[in-house]
């Protein structure tokens, strides 16, 4: 059994549908591990549903852009899948952006909401008044780390002093947002292959950063391509571990 010459991505109509089908199938398995804390696919389904419901509760229209400005942490997949399940578009933002770069991307994408790690909130503070952003969720590194989260946050804020002072009216903390979302229902939204899933911005090395449009079918096809290479070597009935790293 080798790698097929062609792939078929038609099994799922959207990334949200793929996510929900597979989190139901594998809900007891471990999904992500970060800073010594692991969440299952069931946890991921529950948390992303709460975030998606919270966004819908803010009255965002189908296809609205939602920015995510975070490094690799457990909140990131929660937010991305929540956005997709709610029928919105993910706008990934480089957490190392300057105020000028952030302002350009938020305005160019038309982002109406943003989830941002508190370490970078001071950058958003400088530009938010000149952007379409109306809703701001502030995350902390310790939010999903359980009992040790408070210690992590204390060290990050008070010992290493990695969180510059910021003040943005009307924000909500990540865990408070999840609690609000858990009291709401996530409404089904008709999303198909030709709908936009991501606005993925270029590095801007040759000029102004530009948003590449990725449709649901683009990402579904890419996932199926990756699966085609892996299927001959892995057993989907057995847990698998994939290690991801960030390169600079």
Which pLDDT tens digit goes with each residue over 4-33? 889 999 999 999 999 999 999 999 999 999
Tell me what the mean pLDDT of segment 51-64 comes to. Answer: 98
pTM of the model: 0.94
Per-residue model confidence as pLDDT tens digits over 74-106: 999 999 999 999 999 999 999 999 999 999 999
245: pLDDT confidence band, cut at 50, 70 and 90? low
d(CA 125, CA 120): 9
Tell me what the mean pLDDT of segment 127-154 comes to. Answer: 97
The confidence score (pLDDT) of residue 1 equals 60
Count of domains forming the chain: 1
Name the residue range of residue 69's domain.
15-230
CATH number at residue 215: 3.40.50.980
Let me know if residue 246 belongs to a domain.
Answer: no
How many Å is the maximal CA-CA distance in the chain? 58
d(CA 106, CA 113): 9
Let me know if residue 78 belongs to a domain.
Answer: yes
d(CA 22, CA 206): 40
């Amino acid at each position: 059994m080798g790698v097929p010459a062609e792939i078929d991505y038609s099994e799922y109509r959207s990334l949200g549908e793929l996510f929900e089908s597979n989190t139901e199938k594998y809900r007891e398995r471990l999904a992500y591990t970060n800073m010594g804390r692991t969440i299952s696919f069931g946890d991921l389904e529950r948390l992303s549903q709460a975030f998606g419901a919270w966004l819908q509760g803010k009255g965002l229209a189908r296809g609205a852009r939602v920015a995510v400005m975070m490094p690799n942490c457990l909140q990131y997949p929660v937010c991305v899948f929540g956005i997709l399940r709610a029928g919105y578009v993910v706008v990934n933002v480089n957490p190392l952006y300057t105020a000028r770069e952030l302002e350009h991307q938020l305005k160019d994408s038309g982002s109406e909401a943003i989830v941002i790690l508190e370490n970078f909130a001071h950058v958003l503070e400088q530009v938010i008044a000149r952007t379409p952003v109306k809703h701001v969720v502030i995350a902390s590194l310790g939010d999903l780390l359980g009992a040790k989260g408070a210690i992590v946050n204390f060290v990050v804020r008070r010992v290493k002093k990695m969180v510059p002072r910021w003040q943005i009216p009307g924000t909500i903390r990540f865990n408070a947002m999840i609690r609000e979302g858990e009291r709401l229902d996530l409404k089904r939204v008709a999303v198909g292959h030709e709908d936009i899933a991501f606005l993925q911005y270029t590095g801007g090395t040759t000029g102004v950063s530009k948003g590449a449009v990725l449709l649901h079918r683009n990402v579904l096809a890419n996932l199926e391509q990756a699966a085609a290479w892996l299927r001959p070597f892995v057993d989907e009935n057995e847990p698998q571990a994939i290690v991801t790293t960030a390169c600079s």
